Structure 1
Amino acid sequence: MRELSRVPDTVRELQSRIRQMQSTKLEVRTLPTLPALADLLPGGGLRVGASYSVQGSASLAMALMAGPAASGAWCGVVGMPEFGAEAAAGLGIDLNRVVLVPRPGEQWLAVTGAIADALTVIVVKPSGRVTETAASRLSARLRQREAVLIALGPWPQAEARLSVSEGRWGGIGDGHGYLAGRQVTVTVSGAGNGRQLSRRIWMPDSALQVREDGTVRSGVGSSLASRAS
């Protein structure tokens, strides 16, 4: 009878442990991103195992990478010889934790898959069309390794698609003054639906940081604006 009386306590203890494990697992499955972008992304961050498509803005791709990088994640940049190391460092990206493959040639997809085995976030600029089959194979590897892919351009099965529009520089007066920051509108559409969220942000501000400058606007549309990068 003494042992039986302890059963409810044991069950409650096990339930508590299970809830803690589930909570930890859910937290691990989302990587933090910059606060200015978090509210725009499904789940409030970058979902591990997922791919994201950024239309025409290398700066936005770097901003997405900056959050995980600031948390200590190792990152890779593939197919971007124009990668701005100084700008990346200004966003808080530790260059000692960045692997650069600027010119992978025709093997860019194989290189991307290979470094996904070791790195947490990979930014890639595709040099060719990506098929649904190739995207599915890479997605399986991303899920297995709990990594995230950010593609600069179209990408099949993307978790979300992001674009930049309505860019405007500040700090310039009537023919004089210095550039003090750039305001843009970032628009995000989730996979599988036409719903969009937009936010006006500084990218960058006068301190070379990415921060919000306005409220989130929601809407429905079939495509993303991509008038400026």
Structure 2
Amino acid sequence: MSEPLPVLAGVRPASSEDVAGSVLPVAPVIRPVLPWPGLRRGATITVSSMALLFTLLAPVTAAGGWAAVVGMPTVSVVAAAEAGVVVERMPLVPRPGDALGAVVDALVDGMDVVAVAGLIGLRPQEIRKVTARARQRGTVLMSVHAQDRWPGADLELRLAGGRWRGLGAGHGHLLAREVEVRASGRGAAARPRSTSALLPGPGGLVAEATVTWGRGAAAVVGPGCA
């Protein structure tokens, strides 16, 4: 049995009344690809990049929620803050080691979102246990990067393409990147959906891709957009 984590001020486990039919907030530009009006509590979601992860965590923490990040020792708190994440509400467990299953299991009791990398460190029975507990407690579980797809995830979100705005003919600065956000999954998410977004947008926050491209805009497509 896992030991309880220290209690964080303002954190309380969700009750069954909180969970039923409730969702966590998302940025308006992301909402069209979701099968729910927000992030459904208790869902399991795979995201393809840190940029997309921060985009999802920003509205949750801004609304007073808590989002733990586990198994990501190189995560940039500065990049998270620039993307709008309230980093004071983003506890980090960079190197859980062999205690990964116990750490995730304990965090599920108090966090609104638990994002995990390194699922290879979890045994199948641990994954099933944590998934069931997250559904009961109303915690959104996220796995990060393609190699860490959560088995049987309700939703998979990934980025495609990458057209940078702001770079002219040999001069200027990169200001924003237009990408396609794609979603697929099972159940209500079985029908693939996609939408265009600026990620990052001007100033670092995600924004709608409604700005027309100026002359000399640079197009870049590569692994960094996955």
Q: 1:200 offset after TM fit, Å? A: 1.1
1:43 is aligned to 2:36: yes
| C-alpha displacement of 1:129 | 6.3
- Within the candidate set 134, 137, 149, 2:141 is matched to 149
Paired residue type of 1:201: A
Contact 2:100–2:121, Cα closer than 8 Å, also in 1: no
Match of 2:191 among 195, 198, 209: 195
* Sequence identity (%): 37
SS in 2 for 1:35: coil
Counterpart residue number, 1:58 = 50
Structure 1 unaligned segments of length 5 or more: list them: 1-22, 215-225
- Cα pair 2:117 2:143 within 8 Å, conserved: yes
In structure 1, C-alpha distance between the alignment counterparts of 2:179 and 2:127, rounded to whole Å: 30
Which of 1 and 2 has higher RCO (CA within 8 Å, sep 6+)? 2
How far apart, in 2, do the equivalents of 1:97 and 1:43 lie? Answer: 24
* RMSD of equivalent CA atoms: 2.3
Higher helix share: 1
Alignment partner, residue 16 of structure 1: none
Question: Which residue number corresponds to residue 205 of structure 1?
Answer: 201
Deviation at 1:110, TM superposition (A): 2.3
* Map of 1:31 onto structure 2: 24
Aligned to 2:90: 98
Aligned-partner residue type, residue 181 of structure 1:
A
Post-superposition shift, 1:155? Answer: 0.8
Counterpart of 1:32 in structure 2: which amino acid?
A: P
**TM-score where L is the length of structure 1:** 0.77
Q: Any idea what SS the aligned residue of 2:159 has?
A: strand
Which residue in the other structure is 1:169 paired with? 164
Between the aligned partners of 2:175 and 2:20, the Cα distance in structure 1 is: 39
Tell me the SS of whatever aligns to 2:143: strand
Mapped contact 1:130–1:156 kept (Cα < 8 A): no
Give the whole-Å Cα distance in 2 for the aligned partners of 1:127 and 1:140: 16
The answer to whether the Cα contact below 8 Å between 2:142 and 2:150 also exists between their aligned partners in 1 is no
What residue number does 1:186 align with? 181
User: Would the aligned equivalents of 1:171 and 1:177 in 2 still touch at CA under 8 Å?
Assistant: yes
From the CA coordinates, give the structure whose radius of gyration is larger: 1
Count of residues paired in the alignment: 194
Q: CA deviation at 1:197?
A: 0.6
5+ unaligned residues in a row in structure 2: which ranges?
A: 1-16, 211-221
